[in-house]
Each structure stands twice: as C-alpha cells, then as structure tokens.
C-alpha cells in the first residue's frame, strides 16, 4: 500500500489489555504463576535492565511498569497495524478498561479532531460487566471486574486498598457493583447504551467505526454497525496464551491485522 493510496489519515484503536500487547514479552521475565508474581518479575526486570538507583519501592515499581508497558505496546497488534499500513495508529487502549472507560478516552481524543481528517476507528470492546466506580475524591473511579461479584469472592477484594483504612469505601463499591449486576438486564442495557454513545461520537465527526465484540452476544445482532469479529474470545482461542490469559506470539497480531486490512482498507 503506497502513501498515495492511503484511504485514511489516521487509525484509532480503543480497547483493553488485549490491544496493549499484554504478555507478549513475558518470555523476558523470570517465571511466575500469578499476577502478583508477575508484578514482582517486572520490578526485578526493571532493576536489572534499567539500572534503577531509587531506594523507594513505589518509584522502582512505577518506573519499571512504565518502561515495560511501552515495550508491550511496541509488540501489540495496533503497532503492527501501523507498520503494515503506513498509517499512523493512535492506541487509546488501557489494561483493565471497561467500555465506559473506552468511551471517555475516545470522547476526549476526538474533541479536537478536524472534520477534514479521515479517520478509521477500531473498537476492541472490553468484556461485559467491567465497570469503573467512584471510590472517593482522592482516587476517583476504580476498576471493578465481574469476578468481584463472584459468590466466593464478593466482599473479599479490596481493590488494592488497605482494608483497615478504607473498609467503608470498599464495602460501598462492592454494594454498588452487586446491586448493578443483580438488577435484571442492567449490564446489557448499560453496555448497549455506552455502545450507542461510542457510535454517535463517530457519526458526528464522520468517522468510520468497526467493532470487535468480546464474545458471542445478542447485542451484536441488534446493534447496527460494521463488525470485524462477533466473538473475540473464540478468535483468541486459536492462539497460545500466557499465564494471565492473553494471546501470545506473532501469528495472533498478524492474523488480526490481516482481517482489519482486508475488511476496512481494501
């Protein structure tokens, strides 16, 4: 594809960790078997490869995570898509993102987009049931996942906060989330509502949208839009996965990019 033939000035991607290259570079880390062990492994990688001198554990962890995340993004499918198409790709994806988080990030991004700019947006939709609920004024909204409503786990998760000091706020978030997931049809209605808002944002700016749905759902049948994949979970099952469940290896990135190019750009 030559520069003269490029149909778009820019490609925008929204999504979660599946679009951030998560676990693609984990072969560079010491062996681990859980998310907590992985955090320590990334920290040790940073200590060894970045020659960090700070004595504050929080600083060491933040710097290590920042560098590691950049390396992962370099090995993500949006990065490969940019290489294969010669079109700049703006990757707005965030690990742990909910569809609401994607909406906020996308809305902020297109505020200053010129109406003359030709943009293609790929929405890799995060799993249903993920939410960001306000914790307090200091911490803002925090990530809450479907597993937090599991009968065996409900109330046990502290969302990374010290239970002794934040018990009341932790319990409040659990209560809000439990009420929402137990309300019949709430999750589906909320998801479709945000989905329509995403689509509306693009239509106002004359941006072409394509969607990757997290798994097979009736929502994709009722939502009138251009769909790349109706069941991303099924697509990912064709590839090896890391300890945390993310697809690893170049074939995943290559095959997904080929689908996008053949569907959206040719």
**Domain final position from 143, 161, 182:** 182
Do 145 and 164 belong to one domain? yes
State the Cα–Cα distance between residues 51 and 44, nearest whole angstrom: 10
Do 30 and 147 belong to one domain? no
Do 69 and 82 belong to one domain? no
The pTM of this model reads 0.86
**Domain final position from 74, 99, 114:** 74
- The predicted pLDDT at position 125 comes to 96
Do 67 and 91 belong to one domain? no
With contact defined as beta carbons under 8 Å apart, do 70 and 246 qualify? no
Do 65 and 79 belong to one domain? no
Do 250 and 198 belong to one domain? yes
State the Cα–Cα distance between residues 245 and 38, nearest whole angstrom: 13
Structure-token pair, residue 123: 């929405």
Q: Is the dihedral of CA 204, 210, 216, 222 positive or negative?
A: positive
Q: What is the residue-wise DSSP string for the chain? A: --GGG-S-SEEEEE-SGGGTTTTTTGGGSPP-SSHHHHHHHHHHHHHHHS------HHHHHHHHHHHHHHHHHHTSHHHHHHHHH-S-EEE---TT--HHHHHHHHHHHHTT--TTS-EEEEEEPPPTT-EEEEEETTTEEEEE-GGGG-TTTTTT--TTS-HHHHHHHHHHHHHHHHHHHHSTTHHHHHHHHHHHHHHHHHHHTT-EEEEE-SS--THHHHS-S-EEES-HHHHHTTS-B-TTS-B-SHHHHHHHHHHHIIIII-
123: domain CATH number is 3.40.50.1110
- The predicted pLDDT at position 55 comes to 64
Q: Is 51 left (phi over 0), alpha (psi -120 to 50) or beta?
A: left
Do 80 and 209 belong to one domain? yes
Do 217 and 165 belong to one domain? no
Do 154 and 196 belong to one domain? no
Do 88 and 141 belong to one domain? no
- The predicted pLDDT at position 58 comes to 75
Place of tokens 């149909």: 7
State the Cα–Cα distance between residues 104 and 125, nearest whole angstrom: 13
Residues of the chain with pLDDT under 50: 2-4, 151, 154-155
- The predicted pLDDT at position 102 comes to 95
Do 100 and 53 belong to one domain? no
Domain count along the chain: 3
Domain containing 16 equals 3-21+75-129+191-265
State the Cα–Cα distance between residues 94 and 257, nearest whole angstrom: 19
Q: How confident is the model over 70-84, as pLDDT tens digits?
A: 999 999 999 999 999
Do 68 and 105 belong to one domain? no
State the Cα–Cα distance between residues 7 and 255, nearest whole angstrom: 21
Q: How confident is the model over 78-131, as pLDDT tens digits?
A: 999 999 999 999 999 999 899 999 999 999 999 988 888 999 999 999 998 887
State the Cα–Cα distance between residues 124 and 107, nearest whole angstrom: 15
Structure-token pair, residue 50: 């970045």
Beta partners for residue 124, in sequence order: 212
């Amino acid at each position: 594809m030559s520069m003269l033939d490029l149909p778009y000035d820019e490609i925008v991607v929204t999504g979660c960790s599946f679009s951030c290259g998560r676990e693609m570079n984990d072969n560079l880390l010491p062996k681990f078997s859980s998310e907590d062990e992985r955090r320590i492994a990334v920290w040790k990688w940073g200590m060894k490869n970045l020659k960090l001198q700070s004595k504050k554990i929080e600083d060491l962890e933040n710097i290590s995570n920042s560098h590691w995340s950049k390396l992962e993004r370099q090995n993500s499918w949006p990065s490969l898509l940019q290489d294969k198409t010669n079109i700049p790709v703006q990757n707005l994806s965030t690990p742990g993102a909910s569809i609401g988080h994607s909406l906020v990030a996308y809305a902020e991004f297109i505020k200053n987009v010129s109406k003359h700019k030709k943009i293609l947006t790929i929405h890799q939709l995060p799993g249903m049931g993920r939410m960001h609920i306000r914790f307090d004024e200091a911490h803002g909204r925090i990530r809450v996942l479907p597993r937090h409503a599991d009968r065996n786990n409900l109330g046990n998760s502290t969302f990374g906060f010290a239970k002794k000091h934040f018990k009341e706020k932790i319990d409040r978030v659990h209560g809000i989330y439990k009420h929402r997931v137990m309300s019949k049809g709430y999750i589906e209605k909320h998801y479709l509502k945000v989905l329509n808002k995403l689509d509306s944002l693009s239509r106002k700016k004359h941006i072409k949208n394509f969607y990757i749905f997290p798994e097979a759902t009736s929502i994709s049948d009722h939502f009138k839009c251009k769909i790349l994949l109706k069941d991303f979970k099924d697509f990912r099952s064709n590839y090896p996965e890391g300890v945390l469940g993310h697809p690893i290896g170049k074939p995943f990135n290559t095959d997904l990019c080929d689908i996008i190019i053949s569907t959206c750009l040719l």
